[in-house]
Chains A and B, each alone.
Chain A
């Protein structure tokens, strides 16, 4: 009888565990492109921005070569804690008051394959190198970190810089660009936010940056 009771207890506990554990939530939001071997994680509770919208916006852009680049995108995904952000907020340089995390994988165009360098990796969204050299006059600009970033799937640079945009507000960009070992693909993670917002959430945002893992195809 004792044995039956202990079995009963055990079964009840198991049932309780099974029912309760279904309410548990993961501590992070994991973003991954398993085909291309790219991973990063943001705090849980953040929102995804529609991939479709991102793709559509880029392909309809009137900028030179934008359509071509859009065609070579293998994967892109944006995550933000603010539910109202859209693709336009992600792909413009307007200073956001909440962080925007944007990951992207793109195969290189033929002429890019020959000319790609760490500098061109730094210059992916803004002419950081020229600003730093002073060849182009920059609005209030400062690089707070610049280091080589080596991963299993490739190597590149991790750069953190602040600049003041045309609207006069300061924005911090935490950018990691990795070139695949076979020089055909680049993997990019961009975290940006207004400088005050960035400084406030620095630890969390840098944690996102360090979670960026490129395993390659």
Chain B
């Protein structure tokens, strides 16, 4: 085997360097130039003949032989070249001699440095070009080439008017583009000077922890030496993110008011570009402006509102830093960075980010984001024509640029839509979550807005208001107070009461009631339905308190019992979720109990929410009989734990299919709900009675009915008397008969006091 291999190699085509003679040219390559020259010659002969009708072919041929000697010379050179090739192909020593000669020439040439050879070749090429021009001009002017070369500038001078005209035409066309791009690259950027803005930090309520941090940043912006003399650098970028209406823009505004530096507000749509490159121009002009302002005023704040409009380049940002996803209440910070990134990528790459990537092209795309990234980190290179060109030409080193103090603030409610590179330290050094205001913040906010109007609310009432509006933001609070004021003015009054605010809040939350009158038996059914929810919520759901109960029909509900968390609470527990499910299932259990096993389709929404919560408990939150997360199971397509049917042992029993486990859980909770309601039958009917009478009652009224106390609207005392309860039950019996017979109840609804 080993012998055959070199033979195979020998049979292959030899390398050029191994050959003793030159590689044979193909016949076409050998004659192509000669044929080409011959063709040109014949064309010239033909042209002469067509120019002179008495010229014979032979004379034209002969004349051309004389007059186009250069063509013949070229042909002769080509023939000699081909002869040389042919010799090199046949005679090995001849080829060898030439190879030797060329390698010597090459060696000598390479003694020059590459740069010198490059310059030399440039000079030679330039010289040849001038020679060619001179010969062409010589032929044109019928002069010697050198003379013609000097005649040409004269011709150029005489052609000046036409050239100027041409130049004007070019200028005329270009100026339109320049003007268009100049105008397009303006706008979308507003500059406020220190005195323009009256907002201060004291106007931002309920976000003190974020404000304190921002204060630090501003401190460094105002006296950067403090950190720089110790070798640090001034943080140059802040990201404010959080739900809408929580005061991000207000915070930025107050920042501008507080610093005494100019504040540049960049519109979200500023970088939407109609033409490719306009966005880039805008970014460049924005930063030119920022640098100018920062030099003049010693610092500048640039605020990008709705920064998500800047888009991203198709990669999600790392979620680890600000993961507020519902599934990981303690965040992913205990994980390694790699694990966090993997989770974030998997989650967002597969679900959300498909849509986001598609959007990013339209927004700040087309190079705008890249330009912004470059500008944000490229503030330290030398700038300016004089600095870069003139100083360098004179042999001076370019001056380092001054330190531009630019604080960039981004605000967004979709931080995951931002580009990862935008958020790296050096561009955005700090990220603050601007969440829903704390209770103290809400109290402060309510007070702030109430102070602007005439009101009669006590401290306690304001406190209560803040308690029952846990997710209120500055914007919604402002809106609620304003709504209350509108109602007050419409009523011809001037002072806002607690009831007005509550009414406004309900109006804002529920929308306007539809003002439809139920027929009696249906009203009773809806009231019983809601009363079941209410009683169950009162008895079982201690982590929430009832905000209001109503049987007034809204746009998408017949009635409702709304609850709110009394405290700021950040963790949720299994018992709480079970209580939630009980409250949801109470309607089904109650309807079946009070209407002899019948139930309405009105429970559909309740069942949906109960099933959803139960599914999450079983599959996501580790509150069921198995541990693995259904979210991961589905992503990796490993399937949910669930044994095959058949063998009946304890472990297998626990590992039934997910849906079975959810259903089982719900069934046991439904049984529990029935038990609770059966034990509190009188309470349910009493609450239903109160709802039928008053239509909408507050949480305190519900408590009053349950405990016999006095609520704002309902007096609970009559519901404590067994006679009254008996009356109510009789009315229910009549309503039940009416329900079955689709008729009017025989008994009127009883009224007390």
Seen from chain A, the residues whose Cβ lies within 8 Å of a Cβ on chain B are: 1, 4, 7-8, 11-12, 14-15, 18-19, 21-22, 24-28, 30, 32, 34, 39-41, 211, 213, 215
Contacts and interface: CB of A to CB of B under 8 A. Distances in A.
Given A25-B62, A41-B54, 8 more contacts: A4-B86, A8-B86, A18-B72, A22-B66, A28-B59, A30-B59, A34-B51, A39-B53
B63 interface: yes
Interface stretch (B77-85, B206-214, B398-406, B430-438): B77-85
Given A24-B62, A24-B65, A14 B72 contact: no
Contacts of B90: 1, 4
Nearest to B82: A11
Contacts of B65: 21-22, 24
B79 A7 contact: no
Interface in B52-103: 52-56, 58-59, 62-63, 65-66, 69, 72, 75-76, 79-80, 82-83, 86, 89-90
Among A26, A27, A39, A40, the one with the most B-chain Cβ atoms within 10 Å of its Cβ is A26
B749 interface: no
6 contacts: A15-B80, A26-B58, A27-B62, A32-B52, A40-B54, A213-B53
Q: How many interface residues does chain B have, given as a range?
A: 20 to 34
Interface in B40-54: 51-54
Contacts of A41: 54-55
Contacts of B62: 24-27
- The B interface is mostly helix, strand or loop, or mixed, namely helix
B72 A22 contact: yes
Contacts of A21: 65, 72
Contact of A39 (B52, B58, B59): B52
Nearest to A41: B54
B34 interface: yes
Contacts of B79: 11, 14-15, 18
A1 B91 CA distance: 11
Contacts of A4: 86, 89-90
A27 B60 CA distance: 10
B30 interface: yes
A11 B76 contact: no
Contact of A7 (B30, B53, B55, B58): B30
Contacts of A25: 62, 66
B193 to A, nearest CB: 78
A34 B58 CA distance: 20
Among A4, A11, A39, the one with the most B-chain Cβ atoms within 10 Å of its Cβ is A11
A143 to B, nearest CB: 27
Contacts of A40: 54
A-B complex: 9 closest residue pairs judged by Cβ atoms:
A26-B59, A26-B62, A15-B79, A24-B62, A39-B54, A18-B76, A26-B63, A21-B65, A211-B54
Contacts of A34: 51-52
A11 B83 contact: yes
A18 B52 contact: no
A46 B185 CA distance: 78
A147 to B, nearest CB: 20
B55 A30 contact: yes
A11 B63 contact: no
Given A18-B76, A40-B54, A215-B53, A8 B59 contact: no
A24 B56 CA distance: 15
Contacts of B83: 8, 11-12, 15
A162 B79 CA distance: 58
Contacts of B52: 30, 32, 34, 39
Interface string B1-43: 0000000000000000000000000010010001000000000
A1 B56 CA distance: 42
A80 B69 CA distance: 27
B78 to A, nearest CB: 9
Nearest to B72: A18
Contacts of A32: 51-52
A62 to B, nearest CB: 34
Contacts of A28: 56, 59
Contact of A18 (B27, B55, B58, B75): B75
Contacts of B53: 39, 213, 215
Interface in B132-152: none
A153 B34 CA distance: 40
B59 A27 contact: yes
Contacts of B51: 32, 34
Given A8-B83, A34-B52, A15 B76 contact: yes
Contacts of A18: 72, 75-76, 79
A27 B72 CA distance: 21
A171 B89 CA distance: 70
Contact of A22 (B30, B54, B55, B69): B69
Among B62, B82, B86, the one with the most A-chain Cβ atoms within 10 Å of its Cβ is B62
Nearest to B75: A18
A4 B83 CA distance: 10
B47 to A, nearest CB: 12
A9 to B, nearest CB: 11
B84 to A, nearest CB: 10
Nearest to B68: A22
A2 B538 CA distance: 114
Contacts of A213: 53-54
